[in-house]
Structure 1
Amino acid sequence: MSLLGPAEVRELAHKLGIRPTKQLGQNFVHDPNTVRRIVRAADLAPDDIVLEVGPGLGSLTLALLEQGVEVRAVEIDPVLAGALPDTVARFAPEHAGRLTVIAGDALRAKVPAGPTALVANLPYNVAVPVVLHLLAAVPTLRHGLVMVQKEVADRLTAGPGSRVYGVPSAKLAWYATSRQAGKVPPSVFWPVPNVDSGLVAFTRREPLDGDREATFAVVDAAFAQRRKMLRGALAGWAGGPDAAERILRAAGVDPGARGEQLAVEDFTRIASQRRAGGAPG
């Protein structure tokens, strides 16, 4: 089989009448070495069923199929979704039977049961919601590797105390442990973006003992007023600063701390204390 290079990417785009749009965050990878590097970093097992979001013209799809795994690709652009099977049949006919294309938005489309790995070049504007949604909606996902804007990679993988630690970091930590797995230069994309990209690898963790929605409400409140101490930042959520302080102390958290200092386990304990009656409401 062969992978897509710059000439093939432009030829396919021209044939399909595709002009990459900023609205859909379309930046197509045209470098075979990069997509093979992404697949290696994904550390796929032979029995993995890969969920790919935003396959575009098929560069990463072909590299995934080259590994021998089954691929389920979710594509929001109907023209690209319709063309992907033909592209695979042309460049990798021996692997065409292992591709399933799902036309639709990854935030709404019904994904068939069973995917075990998420591997995707995600549009920058929806990367965080897509990752968090799929981890919630597809419980069979065990691990993954996503390419996102480098700034987003920094935020997703940040730990407590980091300057860029925030809502994405804490919410991803609810589901998984994560790490950065390398940078990707703008030159491997068409059109060339004005930012570097980063690879984020994650592995699903054992579920935390708590309620996800309640925990996420605390995370949102804590970072909505990031510079405030938790006693003040959580006042609206808790029913007042005094109620927030009682809940925080019951959870073993300093009311004078800030959200950026807490791990997801701390947010979970805070949420649990309120549900257990640590304060009215």
Structure 2
Amino acid sequence: MARLLTSGDIRTLSRGLGITPTKKWGQNFVVDANTVRRIAAAAKLAEDDVVMEVGPGLGSLTLALIEIARKVIAVEIDPKLALALPTTVAHRAPEEHQRLVVVETDAARIDPAQLPEPPTALVANLPYNVAVPVVLHALEHFPTLRKGLVMVQAEVGDRLTAQPGSKIYGGPSVKMAWYAKAKRAGSVSANVFWPVPNVASALVAFERIQSPDANRVEVFGAVDAAFGQRRKMLRQSLKAWAGEDVDAVLERSGIEPTRRGESLDIAEFIALADAKEALGGTSRT
């Protein structure tokens, strides 16, 4: 069994590597082993899972994940941390360290060809400033991802799991619903991080659903337009997306033009995209 990192271990490793957590990459390291165990358990991993862990940092969560999964592919943007992680894992988990692969790159732009094999799960303590782009990028580009558990800023977690009609329901909520069913899976105290963030954190779990039979680019275009001017009625906010056909698109989709984007669920955004495609002949991508 791996020896998880304590608060003292993390500070010692940081000093030895000359590393100070930076705001640039949104680094807040988890220093509580019990929290790490809880996250790993909440991910509901199987022995055959290939986990993509984004932002492994010094390896707190990595050590817990390699005890469970067949392989952990750690995606790290910080060169110093990417270089040090294999040594840390080999030292603290000698029986499992061969399960780790480190890929030094930006997770918001990573390509499947950069990984040794397709991941089946995403588990990560995500930097607050890039959490939504990273999750949506992973779901779009890695269709083998069946499930995931991510730790994000609580406000971001609420947005990803919000339902139509909520004040925080928006583009991220709809786009997540395109790919997966997501739910809040718990809260995380700020005191388990170093440095301590000034915001609360939350766990979000998701399970992929079957891709809708629709043009994703058009659906997301409608979403972006609707929430780009969320206070306006759809007949106004969708003009940038549908142009002169906006009234015809709304009529064909059966959606009242006086509604606002925050009242539409994913099925209704798909109906808008289908209507536009039928009227204008846009190509499916």
Above 0.5 in TM-score?
yes
Alpha-carbon contact 1:65-1:98 (below 8 Å) kept: yes
**Aligned partner letter, 2:235:** R
Find the aligned partners of 1:122 and 1:107 in 2 and give their Cα distance: 11
Residue 187 in structure 1 maps to residue 188 in structure 2 = no
- 1:207-226 pair list within 5 angstroms: 207-226=211-230
Q: Quick check: 1:70 aligned with 2:71?
A: yes
Deviation of residue 68 (structure 1)? 4.3
Percentage of identical aligned residues: 59
Read off the aligned partner of 1:90 and give its amino acid letter.
H
Q: Does 1:170 align with 2:177?
A: no
Count of paired positions = 279
1:262 aligns with 2:264: yes
**2:85 counterpart letter in structure 1:** L
Amino acid across the alignment from 1:202: F
Q: Does 1:160 align with 2:202?
A: no
> For 1:84 and 1:144, how far apart are their aligned partners in 2?
22
The amino acid that maps onto 2:64 is: A
Structure 1 equivalent of residue 62 of structure 2: 61
Alpha-carbon RMSD across the aligned residues, in angstroms, is 1.4
**8 Å contact kept, 2:51–2:69:** no
Contact 1:238–1:279 (Cα < 8 Å) also in 2? no
Per-residue Cα deviation, 1:101-153 (whole angstroms, up to 9, x for no partner): 00111122323332100000000000000000010111100000000000000
Match of 1:201 in 2: 205
Contact 2:45 2:69 in 1 (8 A): no
Aligned amino acid, residue 23 of structure 2: K
Q: Aligned equivalents of 2:80 and 2:181: distance in 1?
A: 36
The answer for the alignment partner of 1:15 in structure 2 is 16
Q: Residues 239 and 67 of structure 1: is their aligned pair in 2 closer, same or farther, counting only changes over 3 Å? A: same
Contact kept in structure 2, 1:247 and 1:279, CA below 8 Å: no
Tell me how far 1:67 sits from its aligned partner. 1.9
Equivalent in the alignment of 1:247: 249
With 175-184 and 246-255 compared, the bigger mean Cα shift is at: 246-255
The aligned counterpart of 1:141 is: 145
Gap regions ≥5 residues in structure 2: none
Distance 1:235 1:218 in 2: 10
* 1:96 paired residue number: 97
User: What do the CA deviations read for 1:156-188 (whole angstroms, capped 9, x no partner)?
Assistant: 000111110001000011100000000001000
The alpha-carbon distance between structure 1 residues 51 and 68, as it changes in their structure 2 partners (threshold 3 A), is closer
Query: How far is the alpha carbon of 1:26 from its aligned partner?
Result: 0.2
The TM-score normalised by the length of structure 1 is: 0.97
What letter is aligned with 2:223?
V
> The residue matched to 1:87 in structure 2 has which SS?
helix
Whether 1:40 and 2:41 are equivalent positions in the alignment is: yes
What's the CA shift string for 1:231-252, capped at 9, x where partnerless?
1110121114xx3122112111
| TM-score normalised by structure 2 residue count | 0.95
